[in-house]
Amino acid sequence: MAERQTIIILDFGGQYTQLIARRVRENHVYSEVAPWNLSVEEIRRRGPAGIILSGGPSSVNDPDAPHIDPAVYALGVPVLGICYGMQLTAHLLGGQVEKAKEREYGRVTVRMREQSGLMNGMQAASACWMSHTWQVSACPPGFHPTASTGNCPIAAMADEEKRIYGVQFHPEVTHTDEGKLLLRNFLYEICGCTGDWTMDAFAETAIRQIQKEVGETGTVLLALSGGVDSSVAAALIYRAIGKRLTCVFVDHGLLRKGESGQVCHVFSHLFPVRFIRADAADQFFADLKGVTEPEEKRRIIGRDFIQVFRKEASKLGKMDYFAQGTIYPDVIESGQGTNAAVIKSHHNVGGLPKELGFTELIEPLRMLFKDEVRSLGEALGLPRELVWRQPFPGPGLAIRVIGEVTPEKVRIVQESDAIFREEMAKAGLEQKVSQYFTVLTGVHSVGVMGDERTYDYTVALRAVTTDDFMTADWARLPYGLIATVSARIVNEVPRASRVVLDVTTKPPASIEWE
């Protein structure tokens, strides 16, 4: 049996697979995404409480379509097929799947034929998110339809005796009004889960695992960037092995205002690891001199980072393990499911362990989603400002300075950004807007200050709302807030004389300016 109740999600390449995993975990039930062809023996070995078959782009009637071994349905474990997962279930168990007369896409009213089992407590009709071309036209023996839409007579089906279910709509997306309830019914009523996935429980198990892996005397080296992931990884490993953890923090002088000091404080006082800060700002600025092309900036920063890190690591003597803050989306996106070790291709650690001669990697966060990493950080006692830090590009503020990067320009970004953050916090918008920052545009403009003509920098405000950072909308910030931020920047930040607001969505723009 699994150490904790686990839902295995077999992935057929659907765009919402990760979202299904997150929704399950939000219900305090642990879930793992696995490739659709995970063997029946392996599924049995993992002892899941339930199995979810994801959506996917294929059509079950296509000879090349991914088909699971029908023995999965005979494991005695409840199965929920979503979209393609439902069609596959129908196809494999003797039902029929046909092309729908009309492709259904978007929010559609679904009528529930029953309000028990999977649909327990749901309304007779509710809005659901549909996105399909194929649909089940005849249920397999033992199944009966449990929901329908105008165009799709079998929008859900069930074999209650065998505890096998299918839904054509997507309960995992927020556009499905009662999706949360449906998933909860599956987890708690049908699979018998009790909600044993909590961050405190995870921390305890993870600490024990690290202790077991590293042994009584093993040492660990970690590259601390100051971001959420590496900081939480460091805190967790510190709890497991104390000062046998050494953190090397390469300070490139391109972090936000106050962050470098905070990282030093947290890892010298709250989590007193063996902490090495390499102050390399001069080297980074020297190497960035005259460089204006964004990719070139990234390349130089990546290269310098590795150089500095290697130099520091070589002074430390032999370390047994290299630790990094790889998180679950990196693992899933690399297509490696949950079995193999993955090295995050982040600019500052990609390839480093190998170059430094490490064969042993410790990645204690590799099963966690970002929001879970934050909860873990809080459970471990890291400061809130650190745990709730916004996403931040590896190359730091260098990509928020358009054109050549100089210490003065970085200071303008740091100061203006600090003002923007302060005012967002005062307005209570810190966690309502996904990401916000200032950019030093390459534009100079004429102004007057006192009686003097000025010719100084233009600062842009960028604030976006997004779920996944792949697409984003510009945040509709209150005018009063924008006015205060603008006035403070031009008054308090020397050489910033104009403030503009970026009102572009992604696509076509990106979030960063670079």
Tokens 């960028």: give the residue: 462
Q: Is 355 a catalytic residue?
A: no
Would you count residue 329 as binding ligand XMP (CB under 6 A)?
A: no
Nearer to ligand XMP, 364 or 394 (CB): 394
Nearer to ligand XMP, 191 or 511 (CB): 511
User: By CB under 6 A, which span of 71-79, 231-239, 246-254, 505-513 interacts with ligand XMP?
Assistant: 505-513
Angstrom distances, CA of residue 409 to CA of 261, 413, 459, 482, 491: 20, 6, 11, 22, 16
- First-residue to last-residue Cα distance in the chain: 49
Per rule CB under 6 A, count of chain residues that contact ligand XMP: 12
Among 21, 88, 193, 511, binds ligand XMP (CB under 6 A): 511
User: By CB under 6 A, which span of 172-180, 283-291, 326-334, 503-511 interacts with ligand XMP?
Assistant: 503-511
Q: Strands of 69-95 (E only): list them.
A: 79-82
Q: Is 32 a catalytic residue?
A: no
DSSP state of 267: I
Binding residues among 430-449 for ligand XMP as defined by CB under 6 A: 435
Closest CA to 165 of 34, 39, 8, 50: 50
Nearer to ligand XMP, 20 or 439 (CB): 439
User: 377 and 238 in contact (C-beta within 8 Å)?
Assistant: no
User: By CB under 6 A, which span of 37-45, 119-127, 393-401, 442-450 interacts with ligand XMP?
Assistant: 393-401
Would you count residue 347 as binding ligand XMP (CB under 6 A)?
A: yes
Q: Is 253 helix (H, G, I), strand (E, B) or coil?
A: coil
Give me the catalytic one of 32, 104, 172, 415: 172
Residue 102 CB, nearest distance to ligand XMP (Å)?
A: 35
Q: What span, in angstroms and rounded, lies between the C-alpha atoms of 203 and 222?
A: 18
Note if the bond before 35 is cis, omega within 30 degrees: no
Q: What is the secondary structure of 173-215 as a DSSP string? A: STTSTTHHHHHHIIIIIIS-------HHHHHHHHHHHHHHHHT
Residue 395 CB, nearest distance to ligand XMP (Å)?
A: 6
Among 81, 253, 393, 396, binds ligand XMP (CB under 6 A): 393
Among 395, 436, 488, 489, binds ligand XMP (CB under 6 A): 395
User: 456 and 395 in contact (C-beta within 8 Å)?
Assistant: no
Residue 339 CB, nearest distance to ligand XMP (Å)?
A: 25
Taking each continuous run of H as one helix and of E as one strand, the counts in the chain are 15, 18
Binding residues among 464-493 for ligand XMP as defined by CB under 6 A: 469
Among 85, 171, 394, 396, binds ligand XMP (CB under 6 A): 394
DSSP state of 499: E
Q: Is 492 a catalytic residue?
A: no
User: 364 and 211 in contact (C-beta within 8 Å)?
Assistant: no
Q: What span, in angstroms and rounded, lies between the C-alpha atoms of 225 and 388?
A: 15
Binding site for ligand XMP (CB under 6 A): 346-347, 391, 393-395, 435, 469, 506, 510-512
Q: Which residues are catalytic?
A: 83, 170, 172
